[in-house]
Amino acid sequence: MTCDRYWREGIVLVERGADDPHRHSCADCTAAHAARQELVDSLPLVGGGYTGDPRWQAGVWRRIQAERPPARALWRWKLASGLATACMVLLAFGLFRGGGPGDEARPSFAYLSGPAAMRAGSGHHVDDRLRIAVGDTAEVRIYHGDHLLLRCGPRESKPGCTPDDRGMIVELPLAVPGPYAALVFDASAALPAVGYDHDRAALDAAGVHPTEQKFTVP
């Protein structure tokens, strides 16, 4: 019997950036995730300027065909394949812009260890780096306990704050164990930065609802 949990629940966890312990221990779900990820990774190659193997699409579909599940789960594979094909068509007609790593929804939070990024919720360690991608008007504040470590105004350029074509990328090494918090909110609030407790209370009092990420580095 083939496990089809990935298409019922696992794919939702992937889209949310949440960990899925079941997938790590299930060969069927691991294979389904790998096939989906290969499709996603291939999407940015659609369009002008790509001079690689012209038969890459056929290779992807051959691998998916080889891993096709039995009839009772077939409709889920057809749905996933249909969605992927629709994305390819939209990319070809220019209705999607980009499709690369910088096109994630913002704000987004990631934790980087060396060259590999682990999605939020995967665990954190000393010497990891917190990476936050935000839009044009966002301000970012990162705290260790109540102490403000880094403040980046909209599209500010300074160590840790790097503007890009969609807004700004904020990165901070997690050099010290303990509790961390990051606040992202629209800079029109124009509130002074003092410390986490004061700043959070000031935002609440002003009716500003920031996107917040809290975690602990052991």
pLDDT digits (tens, 9 = 90+) for 68-84: 555 555 555 555 556 55
The one-letter amino acid at 188: S
Query: Is the model's pTM score more than 0.95?
Result: no
Candidate from 22-36, 160-174, 195-209 with smallest mean pLDDT = 22-36
**Would you say residue 98 lies in a domain?**
no
For residues 2 and 8, what is the distance between their CA atoms, to the nearest angstrom?
Answer: 13
Q: How far is Cα 155 from Cα 143, in angstroms, rounded to an integer?
A: 19
Average pLDDT, stretch 202-213?
A: 93
pLDDT value, residue 97: 43
d(CA 192, CA 190): 7
Split into its structural domains, the chain has a count of 2
Q: Are 133 and 105 in contact (CB under 8 A)?
A: no
Task: Return the structure tokens found at 148.
Answer: 């403000």
Closest to 98 measured CA to CA, from 107, 106, 90, 108: 90
Could you give the CA distance from residue 171 to residue 162 in angstroms, rounded to a whole number?
Answer: 8
The confidence band for 170, taking pLDDT boundaries of 50, 70 and 90, is very high
Q: Do the domain assignments include residue 115? A: yes
Under 8 Å between Cβ of 117 and 131: yes
pLDDT at 96: 40
Reported as a single tens digit per residue, the pLDDT across 13-58 is: 877 778 888 888 888 888 888 887 777 666 665 554 545 555 666 6
Are 121 and 198 contained in the same domain? yes
| Domain finish residue from 92, 127, 159 | 92
Report whether 29 contacts 3 (CB < 8 A): yes
Is 185 exposed, middle or buried, given 0-12, 13-18 or 19+ CB atoms closer than 10 A?
A: buried
Q: Is the pLDDT of residue 213 over 80?
A: yes
pLDDT tens profile 97-155: 444 444 569 999 998 875 444 444 445 678 888 999 999 999 999 999 999 999 999 99
CATH number at residue 147: 2.60.40
Structural domain harbouring 180:
104-217
Helix (H, G, I), strand (E, B) or coil at 111: strand
Which one has a higher pLDDT value, 202 or 10? 202
Let me know whether 134 and 210 are in one domain.
yes
